[in-house]
Amino acid sequence: MNLKNKIVIITGAGSGIGAATAKLFGTHGAVVVASDINLNNAQKIAGDITEAGGIASAIKTDVTQYQEVEALIANTIEKHDRLDVIVNNAGIGGKEQLKTAEHTHDDWHNVIAVNQTGVFYCMKVALQHMMRQGHGNIVNVASLAGLKASGHNLSYSASKFAVVGMTKSAALEYARKNIRINAVCPGFTHSALLDQLLAVSPDMGEKLKRFIPMGRFGEADEIAEAICWLASENSKFITGQTITLDGGTSL
């Protein structure tokens, strides 16, 4: 993949898919800005990339705060003169697994703020800069829960359906401006969110695997490969698409 010297921001880079993606970009020679609400985690990932011979830095960002998103992107451009790619990966799940009538207000507002509004803020600010520089690439991390029904999970599902819709709408708007916007939709993938789901009951893991034709959960590295490919010149005629990585679950 041709990613050498691309300036890349990854939100939620401190763990899971974000961390795997940041490291893979670093391996391919990109200049990585690892952003996370947990600065220690982001610094660790940036350190790992640097130790492996790459170039990386860390910035603390709460994507629910518009001013912090502005600062993240402005600082990146001030330091590197441009922004080639932003991967909007920061996301959370609800604390409770409840049906819609019992869904808590806190879960609704918190999940929507990070997963939906945070992606909007990052896209809005990044697009302003990408328009001025004449090019850009955005990869949003949605979910299988943004493509099909997901019970006991209303706010998460709503936020990920929104990410898919925002991806397609923005891709249509900016296709003639040399800016590509795509999304990945992971199924059940080893991450903190999956760990939270597996904690519901001792046999939850085996129950979930019955719905996956490949019979296993995804790995963060596998999602990272798709993200980096979408961000590279190897996919330069692709925009407005969702790549589903779910081991066949959606079948």
Calculate the alpha carbon distances from 149 to 5, 101, 126, 169, 192 in Å. 40, 16, 30, 21, 21
Residues 186, 118, 222, CA angle at the centre, nearest 5°? 20
Q: How far is residue 151's CA from residue 153's CA, in Å, rounded to a whole number?
A: 5
Q: How far is residue 60's CA from residue 62's CA, in Å, rounded to a whole number?
A: 7
Residues 62, 68, 69, CA angle at the centre, nearest 5°? 90
Is position 66 annotated as part of the catalytic site? Answer: no
Q: Which of 66, 121, 156, 174 is catalytic?
A: 156
Strands 179-186 and 31-36: unpaired
Q: Which residues are catalytic?
A: 156
